[in-house]
Amino acid sequence: MNRAGRRQQGLGAIELIEQAIHELRAAPPATLASYYLGALPFVLALLFFWADMSRSAFANQHLAGAALGVAALFLWMKFWQAVFARNLRAAFAGEPPPPLGFRQCWRIFIAQTALQPSGLFLLPLALLVALPAAWTCAFYQNLTALGASEAGDVRSAIMRAARQSALWPRQNHVLLAILFAFGFYVFLNWTLVCLALPFLARTLLGVESIFARSPFSLLNTSFFAAMFGLTYLTVDPIVKAAYALRCFYGDSLESGEDLKADLKRLAAAAQPATALLLLALLLSNAPSTSVASPPPVLASPPPPLEERAGERRPSTRLDTARRADNPAGAASTESVSPKKLDRTIQEVIQQPKYAWRMPREKLNASEDAQPGFILRFLQKVGDFLRRVINGFFDWLRKWLPKLFRHHRPETSSGYAWIMLLEILLYVLVGVVIIGLVLLLFRISRNRHRRLQAIPSQAIQPAPDLSDESVGAAQLPEDRWTSLGRELLARGELRLAARAFYFASLAHLAERNLVSLAKFKSNRDYERELRRRGHSFPELLALFSENVSVIDRVWYGLHQISAERVNQFAANVERIKTAA
């Protein structure tokens, strides 16, 4: 099969994966770093959330805050994955990554936030049905690959991702099957490596641990969640690169970007080859010398994981107080009150290192009468934010006395100083609130001024279609269409046909199928459309028919009827739907 046929039918799945891995290895380190900048925090937070919710005795208390943090890191990961695919796409085209401004970052984040969370619910449903699972998976991968390729709205991103997911279905199914099998074997490799680490530590370093004596103690839900996280971090960059390359070839069917990239690579490869040839000709008579290459520097293996053999008993606040009061080790004669002792014991037990020993708190019977799940979740989020705000103000009250401790006179009363600090705190809070109000007022006033300062622009008059110097680039597509309808209603049939023809040219120029220029003839546009839009045979036939009509009517002596103009306009509408 020739190259043109392969571009139409798509590459093989194995060839696509090989090219994706090659492009991923040849990409700059910053490209791969952009992926792990988003994926690594989310995977670590998800593993902590999994272990905390499955083993912590106080999981119900901080469930809302932890879930909110994991959701925020999920959106953070999807944003950086879109940036990662954007950099890969620039590398596919042989161009440097375009600069990423704040406005474009905001558009990417909004698009990924609006579209990607639905995949958490639709992908499991698609796996149950089995048949549309490949298209659904490709759709969400395409949203990541195309999310930062151009500045568009959410609707255009959905349309482009759906069109790319329907392209080359056989390649998509084989690609997912190979990547799933590859991910399964990577998961087995990570599992075997992590199970072998305690035995290697005992054999090589003599470190004895409970995991070396009983390897099955590692097999719990947290261990398998960690293995899935490592597998995701290993395999997902290849998946993202494969679908980014698939979308690149899909868009190249219309734009020809893959051919341009090949030409750039050939031009870049020809320059050093020419220089080497000239150097070889100049030094053809010189004696050959060989320089021994330095031996490769082997990276030192990572240190094995060591586990603490024991844990010292934590010292309580009561022990600290006893050591402070009796440094010489003598027996203290003072007695401790039972309330203080109980409070100290409870504070020590509440520490996170002892939380796993306590049973999980059970819900009271009165909680059955509480509102639904969503309302309880929102209440927990509100409680979490309230605790954060109260903690900030408590920290501020503790920090301010420490800041002004050395400036307090020794003879001043403590009550007056505390009252002064509280007044200062309230004044600072009031200043911050007043500043925020003034800032919002200035923003709203500036926006009102900008709305009032917009100058009115006069509507451009319609060009004279009888003038030969008039071109299709002078008006947009909808203006040409409305002008053609007005001329058709007035009975000016030749001018109406020319207006509809200019509307078709403006539409094709927006789709990058033709390039508007005054020196081009109608046949030039037809040849250019045949070269760029060869994948739309119906479009070529309609445009050729309209070109023959406009040549006979405008440049010849043929008369045109109203029915013929209506048919001409109908062909223009069909051109819009076909392209």
Of 96, 93, 82, 84, residue with least CA distance to 24: 84
Residue whose structure tokens are 């994981």: 305
Pinpoint the residues of the chain covered by CATH 1.20.120.330: 472-578
Which residues, other chains included, contact 50 with Cβ-Cβ below 8 Å and sequence gap of 6+? Answer: 221, 222, 225
What does the pLDDT read at residue 365?
A: 43
Q: Which amino acid is at 129?
A: V
Three-state helix/strand/coil letters over 37-81: HHHHHHHHHHHHHHHHHHHCCCCCCCHHHHHHHHHHHHHHHHHHH
**First-to-final CA distance of the chain:** 27
What does the pLDDT read at residue 184?
A: 92
The H or E element that residue 105 is part of is helix 102-115
From CA 481, how far away is CA 496, in angstroms rounded? Answer: 9
Length of the chain: 579
Task: Label residue 355 exposed, middle or buried (CB < 10 Å: 0-12, 13-18, 19+).
Answer: middle
Q: What is the dihedral of CA 348, 353, 359, 363, to 10 degrees?
A: 80
CA distances from residue 454 to 276, 446, 544 in whole angstroms, order as listed: 61, 13, 44
Rg (CA), the chain: 35
Residue 146 near residue 164 (C-beta atoms within 8 A) = yes
Q: Please list the pLDDT of the chain residue by residue as tens digits (579 residues).
A: 445 555 556 678 888 888 888 888 888 888 888 889 889 999 999 988 888 887 777 777 778 888 888 888 998 998 888 888 888 888 887 777 777 788 888 888 888 888 888 888 887 877 776 557 788 888 888 888 887 655 456 777 788 888 888 888 888 888 888 999 999 999 999 988 888 888 888 888 877 777 777 767 777 888 888 899 999 999 999 998 888 888 888 877 777 777 777 676 666 656 666 667 767 767 765 544 444 444 444 444 444 444 444 444 444 444 544 454 444 444 444 577 888 888 888 887 777 666 655 555 544 444 445 566 677 777 777 788 788 788 777 776 777 666 555 444 444 444 555 666 667 767 777 787 887 888 777 777 765 555 444 444 555 567 777 777 788 888 888 888 888 888 888 888 888 888 888 888 888 888 888 888 887 888 888 888 888 877 777 888 888 888 888 888 888 778 888 888 888 888 888 888 876
From CA 525, how far away is CA 546, in angstroms rounded? Answer: 12
- Give alpha helix (H) positions in 453-513: 477-490, 493-510
From CA 119, how far away is CA 114, in angstroms rounded? Answer: 11
Which residues, other chains included, contact 408 with Cβ-Cβ below 8 Å and sequence gap of 6+? Answer: 417
What does the pLDDT read at residue 330?
A: 44
Which residues, other chains included, contact 560 with Cβ-Cβ below 8 Å and sequence gap of 6+? Answer: 493, 494, 497, 549, 553
What does the pLDDT read at residue 26?
A: 84
Of 66, 62, 56, 61, residue with least CA distance to 355: 56
Q: How many CB atoms lie within 10 A of CB 422?
A: 12
Domain 472-578, CATH class in plain words? mainly alpha
Residue 34 near residue 82 (C-beta atoms within 8 A) = no
Q: Which amino acid is at 412?
A: S
What does the pLDDT read at residue 254?
A: 73
Of 4, 506, 528, residue with least CA distance to 253: 4
From CA 22, how far away is CA 17, in angstroms rounded? Answer: 9
What does the pLDDT read at residue 367?
A: 46
